[in-house]
Structure 1
Amino acid sequence: MKLAVVGGGSTYTPELVDGFARLRDSLPVEELVLVDPAADRLELVGGLARRILARQGHPGKVTTTSDLVAGVEGADAVLLQLRVGGQAARLQDETWPLECGCVGQETTGAGGLAKAMRTVPVVLDIAEQVRRHAPGAWIIDFTNPVGIVTRALLQAGHRAVGLCNVAIGFQRKFARLLDVEPEQVHLDHVGLNHLTWERAVRLGGPDGADVLPRLLAEHGDAIADDLHLPRPVLDRLGVVPSYYLRYFYAHDAVVEEMRTKPSRAAEVAAMEKRLLEMYADPALDEKPELLAKRGGAFYSEAAVALAASLLRPAAVPDGGRIQVVNTYNNGTLPFLPDDAVVEVQAAVDGSGAVPLPVPPLDPLYAGLVAHTTAYEDLALEAALRGGRDRVFAALLAHPLVGQYAQAEALTDRLVAHNREHFAWA
């Protein structure tokens, strides 16, 4: 089995490789190809990847290349984890929206739109090469904003599923709090990528007892602290929102906080510098503890589980492994178009991902989901076709913007900071 990782020079990659090594029985990778144009980073990461596999006795081969075609040729699955513009572009995405009184964040708000517009055309070009040189391969997208990028891939006819680590992070956290194995925890996880809620936490499977009320009663303070939300908010909602709902539920407070603290981009850039220094050490043969602070916790487990499910035969007797993924709505949330991309539990096998039935969504959440989906429609249109008017329309439609003066000012800044990425600008 051959897997290719586009963006393989990322400091995330050792987390992924560690998962391939530990979970080899689930996903027997024979060749892992790391593809990245940054040759210096790629060799450091590739060297550590080989040492990780060797330490754990994994027989797989790790190769590195800057040649996309050679990297994906004949692959069974291609994982996308690229960042167009690098950390420098992320720093801009987190900075200029604050000048207009809006959240500066790389996956939502104006910064998220900028990232989508830089990323979608590049990902679609990569996917076309996959279609030509690995026509049977599945594309697993971990590149943010996952919902918009996955929708672009699906609409272009690619075999693609989007993946985020928020759900598996909650599953692992709740399992620790409940003192059970993670596999016993089944989430009623619903919404859009980075706009989700855990409405129930069931033990044993989709029909198990809901222990979310117990979790909130016994561990509400710890959960609220992790989310940086007040405990009474969780008590009133009776659900656990993703961390990203903080940008909606406490927008103005977050903006003030962002104006006074170092940006996450600056923190990550410093962390990446240190990680690459560590990766250069030929004695290092395991992922360092510092990597856990980089983000992407449990990414490897989620990626291995998804790839293993997609690469097994279709129509298996158990109906496919259940996992939270990003895929077409297809009636799952009836108030959204079928071609919207939702993040829900789905049965996954060699034929793709089929969402499980979802109980009706309360208007408190459905309204925000519908609003954000409308923004995503316009964001994808702007990413695919360009043009200042499309950028403005997407920003005006975003729940975190919504005022014409702000949308105008943000449009000016978005275009100014991204001209090198936009052929039309």
Structure 2
Amino acid sequence: MSKGIKIVTIGGGSSYTPELVEGFIKRYEELPIRELWLVDIPAGQEKLNIVGTLAKRMIEKAGLPIEVHLTLNRREALKDADFVTTQFRVGLLDARAKDERIPLKYNVIGQETNGPGGLFKGLRTIPVILDICKDMEELCPDAWLVNFTNPAGMVTEAVLRYSNIKKVVGLCNVPIGIRMRVAKMLDVAPEQVHVDFAGLNHMVYGLDVRVDGKSVLDQVLVEMGKPENALTMKNIPGLTWEPEFLLGLGAIPCGYHRYYYKTQQMLERELEEAATTGTRAEVVKRVETELFELYKDPNLAIKPPQLEKRGGAYYSDAACNLINSIYNDKRDIQPVNTRNNGAIASIPNDSAVEVNCVITKEGPKPIAVGDLPVQVRGLVQQIKSFERVAAEAAVTGDYNTALLAMTINPLVPSDKVAKQILDEMLEAHKEHLPQFHQTVEV
């Protein structure tokens, strides 16, 4: 790799791309990127051109010899890549809006990666990621696949189970966000804070927190019970936790746990927002319109601060740190989605988990945590069952398997309601779910 690194970003027209480019610029001395290929589909061409032109201005301003290529030809881009990052959304934000609105009609939470919405995002996404894997096997068999596309845990599970790609890592900004917020809460530098993460994507717990090697978990749990310290992110309402519940839990929940531990409150909030300001997808569409207007400015050559409204804080840090650590064999510790390999005793060895790993040039080496604490184990295992069955449904296009996945999700109250939501969403997303409709239409 002495000639420099080739990185391909699929979903290159995303509003997040400037964040990624900024991360690569900051790390250029350690991560000498020669080529950055931004790939999108015809429907995303305008955004790709806007974002790509901004990326070129940012790199020119930094005075770096990185070539930026924009293309709609994925196979052209993938040839001889070293790293492939994925950050795409099948059906764009309009599909996400359906994922959020349709379940609400049945008094069920509608959310991008949880419940029925998470199932349908997985059903749309997994066939596409598996196609990308086939192209990679042929065109860049030694490349690392770094997946940011949600639902990241389910997508990583599908790649591990249904493709021949072994060099895959799923990534999320939730753990790094928790660590940064804990540092702020305790008024210490982030590098002093170490969190023992274990669980699944958007279902990860902090089992312990140490500052300079000393456990401060009890202090953090007390602080988290205060309204001003609700650990959350832009896309999840920061409803306050009951302090006694946190002390009983004995672990740090992530923002997404509110959907499971505060289901009724979160549903009521979603219904109210859908009727007033709009669902999160509709809010994001407005934010993105503003962002792309900014990106068009020929004088803009940095990542604009308004990007933080999009909810992707620390996205580039997570992605670029991972790529940097693999490339340079840094052997530092990062939480990622990878094959369990016995790290969490409560989850099958061949399943994807989100856990702290030592990052090496051979990839992530999961750090063993043993059994999950009994108070969190059951919920994590139930969501892993859901992810496994959902991934199977995505690959097979089998209606019964999809209904089973919908029903075993803890946010769905019954098989009857599951069937009603499933039928309506299968019809609404017909264009992006050919595996479910081909048998019917023959």
Q: Distance in 2 between matches of 1:410 and 1:219?
A: 35
**Partner deviation per Cα, 1:42-69 (whole Å, 9 max, x = no partner):** 1100111111122233331211111101
Which residue of the partner structure matches residue 370 of structure 1? 381
- The answer to whether the 8 Å contact 1:229/1:246 transfers is no
Which blocks of at least 5 consecutive residues in structure 1 are unaligned? none
Q: Distance in 2 between matches of 1:145 and 1:103?
A: 16
**Partner deviation per Cα, 1:72-94 (whole Å, 9 max, x = no partner):** 11111000000000000000000
Q: Confirm whether residue 303 of structure 1 aligns to residue 319 of structure 2.
A: yes
In the TM superposition, residue 305 of structure 1 has moved relative to its aligned partner by 1.1
Bigger CA drift: 403-412 or 241-250?
403-412
The CA RMSD measured in Å over matched residues stands at 1.6
**Partner deviation per Cα, 1:219-274 (whole Å, 9 max, x = no partner):** 64232264423242334423321110000011111111111112100100001111
In the TM superposition, residue 23 of structure 1 has moved relative to its aligned partner by 2.0
- The answer to whether the 8 Å contact 1:79/1:142 transfers is yes
2:257 to 237, 245, 249: 245
Q: Confirm whether residue 142 of structure 1 aligns to residue 158 of structure 2.
A: no
In the TM superposition, residue 406 of structure 1 has moved relative to its aligned partner by 1.3
Q: Distance in 2 between matches of 1:69 and 1:194?
A: 31
Which blocks of at least 5 consecutive residues in structure 2 are unaligned? 233-237, 438-442
Which residue of the partner structure matches residue 419 of structure 1? 430
- The answer to whether the 8 Å contact 2:249/2:375 transfers is no
Residue correspondences, number = 417
The alpha-carbon distance between structure 1 residues 157 and 229, as it changes in their structure 2 partners (threshold 3 A), is farther
Which residue of the partner structure matches residue 186 of structure 1? 194
Q: Confirm whether residue 216 of structure 1 aligns to residue 243 of structure 2.
A: no
Q: Distance in 1 between matches of 2:299 and 2:372?
A: 52
Q: Distance in 2 between matches of 1:218 and 1:90?
A: 34
In the TM superposition, residue 402 of structure 1 has moved relative to its aligned partner by 4.6
- The answer to whether the 8 Å contact 2:346/2:371 transfers is no
Which residue of the partner structure matches residue 135 of structure 2? 129
- The answer to whether the 8 Å contact 1:138/1:310 transfers is no
- The answer to whether the 8 Å contact 2:345/2:370 transfers is no
- The answer to whether the 8 Å contact 1:161/1:325 transfers is yes
1:230 to 234, 241, 246: 241
Q: Confirm whether residue 176 of structure 1 aligns to residue 181 of structure 2.
A: no
Which residue of the partner structure matches residue 321 of structure 1? 332
- The answer to whether the 8 Å contact 2:185/2:229 transfers is no
Which residue of the partner structure matches residue 302 of structure 2? 286
Bigger CA drift: 4-13 or 194-203?
194-203
Q: Distance in 1 between matches of 2:59 and 2:250?
A: 43
Q: Confirm whether residue 202 of structure 1 aligns to residue 207 of structure 2.
A: no
Bigger CA drift: 234-243 or 155-164?
234-243
Q: Distance in 1 between matches of 2:248 and 2:300?
A: 47
Q: Confirm whether residue 66 of structure 1 aligns to residue 77 of structure 2.
A: no
Read off the aligned partner of 1:287 and give its amino acid letter. Answer: K
Q: Distance in 2 between matches of 1:367 and 1:231?
A: 21
The alpha-carbon distance between structure 1 residues 66 and 201, as it changes in their structure 2 partners (threshold 3 A), is same
Q: Confirm whether residue 336 of structure 1 aligns to residue 343 of structure 2.
A: no
The alpha-carbon distance between structure 1 residues 215 and 164, as it changes in their structure 2 partners (threshold 3 A), is same
Q: TM-score, normalised by structure 2?
A: 0.91
Structure 1 ranges of 4+ moved more than 4 A? none
**Partner deviation per Cα, 1:4-29 (whole Å, 9 max, x = no partner):** 10000000100111111112233221
Q: Secondary structure at the match of 1:62?
A: strand
- The answer to whether the 8 Å contact 2:100/2:279 transfers is yes
In the TM superposition, residue 339 of structure 1 has moved relative to its aligned partner by 1.5
1:266 to 282, 288, 295: 282
In the TM superposition, residue 290 of structure 1 has moved relative to its aligned partner by 1.0
State the identity as a percent: 41
Which residue of the partner structure matches residue 35 of structure 1? 39
- The answer to whether the 8 Å contact 1:48/1:279 transfers is yes
- The answer to whether the 8 Å contact 2:185/2:223 transfers is no
- The answer to whether the 8 Å contact 1:26/1:304 transfers is no
Q: Secondary structure at the match of 2:406?
A: helix
In the TM superposition, residue 398 of structure 1 has moved relative to its aligned partner by 0.9
Q: Confirm whether residue 9 of structure 1 aligns to residue 26 of structure 2.
A: no
**Partner deviation per Cα, 1:116-147 (whole Å, 9 max, x = no partner):** 00000001101211221111100000000001
Q: Distance in 2 between matches of 1:235 and 1:209?
A: 19
- The answer to whether the 8 Å contact 2:346/2:372 transfers is no
Bigger CA drift: 227-236 or 102-111?
227-236
Q: Distance in 2 between matches of 1:131 and 1:390?
A: 28
Read off the aligned partner of 2:267 and give its amino acid letter. Answer: V
